[in-house]
Structure 1
Amino acid sequence: MTGFGNEFASEDGRCPGSLPQGQNTPQKCPYGLFAEQLSGTAFTAPREENKRSWLYRIRPSVVHRPFQRIKSEHFTNDWTQNPPNPNQMRWEPFEMPKGRGDWVHGLRTVCGAGDPKSKSGIAIHIYTCNMPMENKAFYNADGDFLIVPQKESLVIKTEFGMMKVDPNEICVIQQGMRFSVDVEGPSRGYVLEVFGRHFQLPNLGPIGANGLANPRDFETPVALFEDLEVEYKIVSKFQGCLFEAKQDHSPFDVVAWHGNYVPFKYDLKKFMTINTVSFDHCDPSIFTVLTCPSEHPGTAVADFVIFPPRWSVAERTFRPPYYHRNCMSEFMGLIHGNYEAKEEGFKPGGATLHSIMTPHGPDAKCFEAASTAKLAPARVADNTMAFMFESSFSMAVTNWAEVVSQKLDESYYKCWKDIKKQFPRHEHNLGR
C-alpha cells in the first residue's frame, strides 16, 4: 500500500471483511473486534489538516496495568545540563553498543530545545542497538519520530503492520503510535523528534506540480496482527520522561484499519533533485524532503534535507556550499560516502552542529580546489548521502554528547585555520 497524506485502508487477509463498511463504530464489529480511534490532531482541526485513523483490534489498548517511571539516563528533553556553547561542533562516529541492548535502551540525546509539555520544540537523538525489542513496544506521547538508519536495517513492527527500513531510507512514526524494533546486526542511526506537530511535504511554489519527494513514493504498512497472550512491556515517552506499563498480550493485535494518520517510509533514492542550470549555488532548502512547519509562515520547527548524488553544471560559480551564518540551527549526519565540503573528518555515523549565527562553510582544502576547478558538468556526491536536520530553535547540547560520549572533535575548528587572505595588499588600505 502506497501514498502520503490521503485516506488509506487495510485488513489482514486472514480475516476478510474485518474492516467495517459504511460506518466507523458499528454496534458489533466483525470478528468481535474493538473499534479505537487514534487522533493526531484536535477533533475540530480543519478537514485538510485533520489526522486520525480507526483501528479494529482484538483488545483495546486501554487494557494494561499502571505506568511506572523508568530510568532514561542519556535520553532526555532536559536542556539545562550544560552551559551554552556557540562553537562549531563535530562528532566522530558514535560508538556501537558494547553490551547487548535494544533500540530503546540505545537511544542517546545529542541536542534539542523547547518543551514537550507546551508542544513546542525539537530533539535530536542517535541510537545504537544489537538486539530486538523482545515483547516490548514503545510510543511517543510527545511528538513524531523521523528515523534515519545509518548502519544496518531496522525491521519495525507497528500497530498498522510491518516496515523494513534500510540505510538510505527513512521512516516516520507519528505521535502515539506503538512500535517495536528488530535488527539484523549491530545497528546505528539518527532520530529527529518534533513536539506536538507533524511532518508534511513542503510546498513546491514555482517548482510546480512535480519535484523533490513525490507523494506516491511514500509507503505505508499493510495490516498484520498477532494474537499473543504473553507479558508485554509498553514504554511511553511522556513529557520528556520514560514510563513502563505491563500487559498480558501483544499490542500489535490490529486486524484492520483505515485513516490518514499512519506510519510511513520513504526511499531517499527516489528524491527528484532540483538545481541551477545557469549560475550560483542554490540555498539548501531545495533539497527538503519533509518539513514540520511552525506558526510563522516559511519558518520550520524542523526540515529534513538531503544532499543526494546529482549533476553540478553552474557556470562562473563557487559550487560547494557557500560560507554562511544562519538564523537556523543546522545538524548534519552522514549515512555513507564523503560529503563534498568536508571530505576529511566528517564520517558516516558521525555528526556536526552549527548553531544559530555560528559561521561555517567549506574547509580550506575544499575552498582551494573549488576555486580553481575547471567548471565543466560534473557529478557531485556519487555513492554519498548526507542529510541535515535544520530548525528555527536554538538547540542546547547534552552532557552526554559534549562530554560522556567522548566523540566530540575538539580540533574541528582547525579545518578552517589554513584559509588564507586572498585580497591583494594596496597602498590605500585602511588600517595598514
Structure 2
Amino acid sequence: MSDFEYQSGFRNQFATEALPGALPEGQNAPQRCPFGLYAEQFSGSAFTAPRSHNLRSWLYRIRPSAAQSAYRPLEVGQLSTAPESEVAADPNQMRWDPLPMPQAATNFIDGLFTMATNGDAGTQIGCGIHLYTLNADMTGSFFYDADGELLVVPQLGTLVLRTEQGLLKVAPGEVAVLPRGLKFQVRRAAGTDAARGYVCENYASPFELPGLGPIGANGLANPRDFLTPTAYYEDTQGEFELIAKFGGKLWAAELDHSPLDVVAWHGNYAPYKYDLARFNTINTVSFDHPDPSIFTVLTSPSDTAGMANIDFVIFPPRWMVAEHTFRPPYFHRNIMSEYMGLIHGTYDAKAEGFVPGGSSLHNCMSPHGPDANTFDKASSEELVPQYQGNTLAFMFESRYVFNPTPSALSAGFRQRDYVDVWHGLHSHFKPDAR
C-alpha cells in the first residue's frame, strides 16, 4: 500500500488492513490471528464509558507492545507539565516572537519548548502549550505521550507523522491530532529542511466537534473532512529507543524492532488530520462583531457546560461586510484564558509585532484588544465589503488560567514592551458632541 492513504470521517469506526486478510472476520480476538499476528486493544476511554464516547481500536501487529525493556528516566529539557510550581500565574499581557530555529541537529522531541500550562495532568484537567522546532528526523527513536493527546499545528515546514496506525503528512494550514498513548515518529517531508510550529497537549477529555446549535446541521468543520490514515507497517529489526512522557517526566525503553508494525486495525481511536481551508466560516452579514466561538474547530469539554477545557479556534480568510460596526475584535475581558498563535499573514487586530510563528497570552480577565494604530484605522475606514485574505491565526482558549513557564518568562524572544501597544489609546470623550 502506498504512503499517505486516508479514510474520511471524524471518529468513524474504521477498518483497514495493509495486508489483505489481516483483519479477523467474525471475532474481535480469535484464538490465532491471521498471519501469526498479535491482537492488542488500544483504549482511549474507560471500558464503561458511554458508547457515544467510548474510544478504542483493535491493532493486529507483528509483536505486542509489551515486548520491550524496562524504562529508565531521561532529562526533560525544556518540556514542562502542569501543575506549574516554580512561578505563579501572571495577569500581565504577554507576547513572544517566534522561537529561534536550532543550530545543532534537533529532532521533534529535543526541540519541544513549553510556553505555558494549566490544570493538572495527574487529575486529567487542563493542557500544556508547547512550541517545536526541528531540523533533523527521528530515525532510531519513537515517542508516545501518556499524559495527553497532542494537537500539532505546523507553522513552517511539512511534517510526516509516522504512527502505529499509518502515515500522516501535515503541512502549514493543516493540523493533526495524535491520541494519548499513540507511538509515533516525526520526520521532515521531502523539500523541508527545518520546521516549526505549536503543540497543544490536552490532558483532559479528547477533542471533539463542537455542537452547532442554531447554526443547524451544516457549518464550521465538517466531519467528512477529517482524515485518518490507512494501515501501514514496517517489519524492521534493530536497536530502537521508545521515549514515553509519563507523569510529566520522560522515560526511555529499548526495543529490538520498530513499533510501527501494525498490519491491520479497526476502531475509532486513531490519529487524524484536518485542512483548515475546509472550515466553513460563519460571520455576520448585517452588523456587530460575533463572538470568536463561531470559529471553533475542535473542543475538549469540561464538567461545566459551555466552559471548555480547551477550544481550538481559528481566524481564517473571510469576508468582512458588517455595517455600522467596528470590525476588528473588540476590547474585552473574559473569563476564559487565551493563547494565540499566527500561522501566516497578518492578524486584523494588530498593526505590528504579532508575526508568523509568534504567540501571545491573555489570561482570565486581563484586558486586551486592538492596538492603538488598528483602533484609529478601523474607526474611520470606509465600511465596504473587504476580503480578509492573507491571514490564518488560531487560539487555544481554556477555562483554566495559564501559567507561563520560567523558560517562557525569561526567553530572549519575549516582547517585554508588549503592553505599550495600547498606550496610544487616548481619550476621545466629548460630552457635548454625540
TM-score band by shorter chain is over 0.9
2:417 alignment partner AA = S
Match for residue 33 of structure 1 among 21, 30, 37: 37
SS at match of 2:237: coil
Aligned pairs for 1:28-427 within 5 A = 28-78=32-82, 79-183=84-188, 184-380=192-388, 382-403=389-410, 405-424=411-430
Identity %: 53
- State the Cα distance separating 1:5 from its structure 2 match: 1.7
Is the CA contact 2:128–2:200 (under 8 Å) kept in the aligned structure 1?
yes
Is the CA contact 1:143–1:197 (under 8 Å) kept in the aligned structure 2?
no
CA distance in structure 1 between the partners assigned to 2:89 and 2:58 by the alignment: 44
- Residue deviations 1:78-117 (CA, integer Å, cap 9, x gap): 5122233211100011111121110000001000112211
CA distance in structure 1 between the partners assigned to 2:233 and 2:297 by the alignment: 31
Query: What is the TM-score with the length of structure 1 in the denominator?
Result: 0.96
Is the CA contact 2:97–2:414 (under 8 Å) kept in the aligned structure 1?
yes
Query: What is the TM-score with the length of structure 2 in the denominator?
Result: 0.96
CA distance in structure 1 between the partners assigned to 2:204 and 2:429 by the alignment: 50
- State the Cα distance separating 1:55 from its structure 2 match: 0.2
- State the Cα distance separating 1:24 from its structure 2 match: 1.0
CA distance in structure 2 between the partners assigned to 1:391 and 1:85 by the alignment: 15
CA distance in structure 1 between the partners assigned to 2:23 and 2:323 by the alignment: 57
- Residue deviations 1:369-396 (CA, integer Å, cap 9, x gap): 111111111111x121000000011111
CA distance in structure 2 between the partners assigned to 1:349 and 1:8 by the alignment: 35
CA distance in structure 2 between the partners assigned to 1:130 and 1:280 by the alignment: 45
Is the CA contact 2:204–2:300 (under 8 Å) kept in the aligned structure 1?
no
Equivalent in the alignment of 1:11: 17
- State the Cα distance separating 1:352 from its structure 2 match: 0.3
2:147 alignment partner AA = D
SS at match of 2:252: strand
Moved more, 250-259 or 406-415: 406-415
- State the Cα distance separating 1:9 from its structure 2 match: 0.9
Is the CA contact 1:40–1:261 (under 8 Å) kept in the aligned structure 2?
yes
- State the Cα distance separating 1:73 from its structure 2 match: 2.3
CA distance in structure 2 between the partners assigned to 1:124 and 1:246 by the alignment: 28
- Residue deviations 1:264-320 (CA, integer Å, cap 9, x gap): 000000000001111100000000000000011111000000000000111111000
CA distance in structure 2 between the partners assigned to 1:53 and 1:196 by the alignment: 19
- Residue deviations 1:150-191 (CA, integer Å, cap 9, x gap): 000110000001000000000000111111000131110000
- Unpaired runs of 5+ residues, structure 2, are 1-6
1:2 alignment partner AA = S
CA distance in structure 2 between the partners assigned to 1:2 and 1:343 by the alignment: 39
2:418 alignment partner AA = Y
- State the Cα distance separating 1:343 from its structure 2 match: 2.9
- State the Cα distance separating 1:426 from its structure 2 match: 6.0
Is the CA contact 2:89–2:402 (under 8 Å) kept in the aligned structure 1?
no
CA distance in structure 1 between the partners assigned to 2:120 and 2:418 by the alignment: 30
Is the CA contact 1:334–1:350 (under 8 Å) kept in the aligned structure 2?
yes
- CA change 1:126–1:206 in 2 (3 A) is same
- Unpaired runs of 5+ residues, structure 1, are 428-432
2:40 alignment partner AA = E
- State the Cα distance separating 1:420 from its structure 2 match: 1.4
CA distance in structure 2 between the partners assigned to 1:125 and 1:413 by the alignment: 23
SS at match of 1:219: strand
- State the Cα distance separating 1:253 from its structure 2 match: 0.2
Equivalent pairs counted in the alignment come to 423
- Residue deviations 1:30-55 (CA, integer Å, cap 9, x gap): 00000000000000111111000000
SS at match of 1:400: helix
Equivalent in the alignment of 2:3: none
CA distance in structure 2 between the partners assigned to 1:248 and 1:410 by the alignment: 49
SS at match of 1:230: strand
CA distance in structure 2 between the partners assigned to 1:83 and 1:38 by the alignment: 37
- State the Cα distance separating 1:408 from its structure 2 match: 0.9
Is the CA contact 1:142–1:196 (under 8 Å) kept in the aligned structure 2?
no
Is the CA contact 2:126–2:398 (under 8 Å) kept in the aligned structure 1?
no
Equivalent in the alignment of 2:4: none
1:321 alignment partner AA = P
- CA change 1:256–1:98 in 2 (3 A) is same
1:139 alignment partner AA = Y
SS at match of 2:162: strand
CA distance in structure 2 between the partners assigned to 1:85 and 1:46 by the alignment: 38
SS at match of 1:180: strand
CA distance in structure 1 between the partners assigned to 2:182 and 2:340 by the alignment: 27
